Amino acid sequence: MGQKIYRYAVATRLSHWVWVLAFGVLVSSGLQIFNAAPYLDASDKSNPARRVLSIDSPADGVGTTTIFGRTFTTTGWLGFTDDGMGGRSPRAFPGWITIPAYQDLADGRRWHLFFAWVASVCWLAWLISSAIKGNLRDMVLRPADLPKLWPMQAYYLKLRAEPPPHGLYNPLQKAAYTLVGFVIAPLVVITGLALSPGIDAIAQPLTWLLGGRQFARLWHFTSMLLLLGFFAVHTFQVLTQGVFNQMNAMISGWYRLGEHDGVGP
Amino acid sequence: MNRKLFIATSISSALAACSPIGTALNNNEGFHSFLGKAQGLNHALIGTRGMAREYRDADVDRNFRTNGLPTPSDSSYQEMVARGFAPYRLVIDGAVERRRAYSLAQLRGMQQTTQITRHDCVEGWSAIGKWSGVPLRDILADVRPRADAKYAVFYCMDKDDQNTPYYESLDLHEASHPQTLLALRLNDAPLDPDHGAPVRLRVPTQLGYKSAKWVNRIEFVGSFGTIYSGHGGYWEDQGYEWYAGI
């Protein structure tokens, strides 16, 4: 049994679980909002000629998904799905994945705009707290970590017996946390704001830089997919790298070091 | 391995429970109204500042999309259409120093401005139109809202299938924004019935449902709490935010 270290500060643990909740709500309510106009255009105003994604129900009982002009039949999953009221109807994302389950744009927006605040305020509070305590140093990727990225990946691929020496987090973890915490998460907030007419009026260059309102909507959706991708990999890692130790650490703060873990700060 | 299976099952169950739990909470009145608190923050922080982007003629959607309630089909509206809107009056009343009833000819005789702006629907789509008409702040200058006037309420001629009329409201700050327009023309032609003839509101700094069509009365009030269901608009009464800048 390895040595136990205090790995996660209260602010980190609390914000981690607030984000789990907020992210779940934001994705489900976001898909509810998407359902009101189930297509994404790489343009400022709506333009079917620049349509990247479209989820349709071309005939009763049929759902299709068109990506970059290629159409796939997705009945039951996308396009013609669970309507959240015990039946199936033309609906892009199914009711079991949206909040509320039935089609309701107004309430989807209500959840989304509330939890956008929860997630953003939580991010800011975590950032300030971590900066003050100095925890950020352990997790932000630095130039010195770059040469260690491949050796770490090689270790995961079992091409190397030992991970490169590292601190509390390994270089790949640092890269992932830095990318998610300081690039993708801010991007999802900025792109969400940019598709609002009130923000566009205040910060015209922002919406313009993203390619316009429909493009901002496309970026918003894409950055959500990237966060979902991180969530999937993150969950897989937790499940395969000593799930009870990891879960316990994110609840109590105490983590039992494994033989290949770094020795801490 | 069983423990991992247990955790994996727990995570999937938690994900699958998100929607039903959310739906149950959504139907709880107290929780539902608590979620609405975010609107106050958004209104205070974003509000109506700056100017909506203005576009070039080439950007205009010539077949501007129609959406929302159907075009009025009652006989009085039909008669107005048939008579070139000669019987139409835009009534301004409530907390103003000078009540007015403008004919269409009078509105056309006032200083006109043109804007090519993007209409952003709450559903997510956008379209660009060229709008001409009278800036609402010129009307305000003419009727002079009293000190107790806080909101302009726009009454419309369209009704839903339950016979509930459309209406909207803006506060006086939003109503005085230089781009808030009483539009008489769309894409170089007088508004046609489907696009809100003869007069529609155009609020390019907020979502499309604020831009009420078929407006025939503007009432200045201290509060909209007693008007229809009390939330300041047809869609607001159905759960949409009164502040539609986001």
**Would residue A166 be called left, alpha or beta, if left means φ above 0 and alpha means ψ between -120 and 50 degrees?**
beta
The pLDDT-based confidence of B1 (bands split at 50, 70, 90) is: low
pLDDT of B182 higher than 70: yes
Among A245, A218, A265, which Cα is nearest to A67's? Answer: A218
Is some CB atom of chain B closer than 8 A to the CB atom of A108?
Answer: no
Residue with tokens 């352990």: A138
pLDDT of A22 higher than 90: yes
Interchain proximity B26–A213, CB inside 8 Å: no
pLDDT of residue B8: 73
Is some CB atom of chain A closer than 8 A to the CB atom of B15?
Answer: yes
List, as ranges, residues 227-246 from B with C-beta within 8 Å of A.
235, 238-241, 244-246
A43-86 tens-digit pLDDT: 999 999 999 999 999 999 999 999 999 999 999 999 999 999 99
ipTM: 0.94
Tell me which chain A residues have a C-beta less than 8 angstroms from the C-beta of B53.
Answer: 200-201, 204, 207-208
Longest CA–CA separation in chain A, Å: 62
Residue with tokens 């349709």: A56
B148-175 tens-digit pLDDT: 999 999 999 999 999 999 999 999 999 9
Three-class SS state of B127: strand
Tell me which chain A residues have a C-beta less than 8 angstroms from the C-beta of B32.
Answer: 107, 110
Tell me which chain A residues have a C-beta less than 8 angstroms from the C-beta of B22.
Answer: 25, 28-29, 99-101, 111
C-beta separation of B64 from B173 below 8 A: no
Question: Cα Rg for chain B, rounded, in angstroms?
Answer: 21
Three-class SS state of B156: strand
Mean pLDDT within A26-39 = 98
CA-to-CA separations, B149 to A107, A176, B101, B173, in angstroms, rounded: 30, 54, 19, 11
More confident residue, B110 or B6: B110
Burial A105-127 (b: 16+ CB within 10 A, else e): bebbbbbbbbbbebbbebbeebe
Mean pLDDT within B90-102 = 98
Instruction: Provide the token pair at A106.
Output: 């107004």
In chain B, the residue whose alpha carbon lies closest to the alpha carbon of A232 is B11
In chain A, the residue whose alpha carbon lies closest to the alpha carbon of B47 is A198
Amino acid letter, residue A178: T
Integer Cα distance of B73 and B5 in angstroms: 62
Integer Cα distance of B180 and B144 in angstroms: 17
Interchain proximity B125–A200, CB inside 8 Å: no
Question: How many CB pairs (< 8 A) connect A and B?
Answer: 154
Q: Name which of A233-242, B113-122, B154-163, B217-226 the model is least confident about.
A: A233-242
pLDDT of residue A262: 59
In chain B, the residue whose alpha carbon lies closest to the alpha carbon of A104 is B239
C-beta separation of A264 from A5 below 8 A: yes
What's the mean pLDDT when you consider all of chain B? 95
Mean pLDDT within A116-125 = 97
Is some CB atom of chain B closer than 8 A to the CB atom of A209?
Answer: no
Which candidate in A91, A107, A190, A235 is best for mutational testing of the B interface (most B CBs within 10 A)? A107
The pLDDT-based confidence of A31 (bands split at 50, 70, 90) is: very high
pLDDT of A164 higher than 50: yes
The pLDDT-based confidence of A135 (bands split at 50, 70, 90) is: confident
Percentage of residues in chain B with pLDDT exceeding 70?
Answer: 99
Which candidate in B62, B118, B203, B241 is best for mutational testing of the A interface (most A CBs within 10 A)? B118
pLDDT of A265 higher than 50: no
Among A186, A37, A212, A113, which Cα is nearest to B52's? Answer: A212
pLDDT of A27 higher than 60: yes
pLDDT of residue A264: 44
The full DSSP string for A204-232 is HHHHHHTTSHHHHHHHHHHHHHHHHHHHH
Instruction: Provide the token pair at A47.
Output: 């333009």
C-beta separation of B205 from A74 below 8 A: no
Comparing CB atoms, the residue among B4, B18, B48 nearest residue A243 is B4
pLDDT of residue B32: 94
Interchain proximity B207–A201, CB inside 8 Å: no
More confident residue, A167 or B104: B104
Integer Cα distance of A195 and B165 in angstroms: 29
Which candidate in B18, B42, B49, B61 is best for mutational testing of the A interface (most A CBs within 10 A)? B18
pLDDT of residue A260: 67
Comparing CB atoms, the residue among B14, B23, B51 nearest residue A201 is B51
Interchain proximity A201–B205, CB inside 8 Å: yes
Among B140, B207, B199, which Cα is nearest to B171's? Answer: B140
Burial A63-82 (b: 16+ CB within 10 A, else e): bbbbeeeeeeebeebbbbbb
Residue with tokens 């009221």: A85
Is some CB atom of chain A closer than 8 A to the CB atom of B41?
Answer: yes
CA distance B47 to chain A (A): 7
List, as ranges, residues 127-166 from A with C-beta within 8 Å of B.
none
Q: Strand (E) positions, B160-225?
A: 165-171, 181-186, 189-190, 200-202, 215-221
pLDDT of residue A257: 87
Amino acid letter, residue B143: V
**A185-194 and A213-240 helices, crossing angle to 10°:** 160
B13-35 tens-digit pLDDT: 777 788 889 999 999 999 999 99
Mean pLDDT within A111-119 = 98
